[in-house]
Amino acid sequence: SIRCRKGIVADFAIHFEANPHMEPISIKTKRLILRPWREEDYAPFAQLNADLRVMEFFPSILSRSESDLLAKTCSDFINANG
Residue-wise pLDDT for 6-45, tens only, equals 444 444 443 445 555 667 788 899 899 889 999 999 999 9
Could you tell me the sign of the dihedral formed by the alpha carbons of 43, 48, 51, 55, in that order? negative
- The per-residue DSSP string of 51-64 comes to -TTTTTTSSS---H
Report helix, strand and coil shares of the chain as percent, to nearest 5: 40, 5, 50
Residue-wise pLDDT for 53-75, tens only, equals 999 999 999 999 999 999 999 99
pLDDT at 15: 43
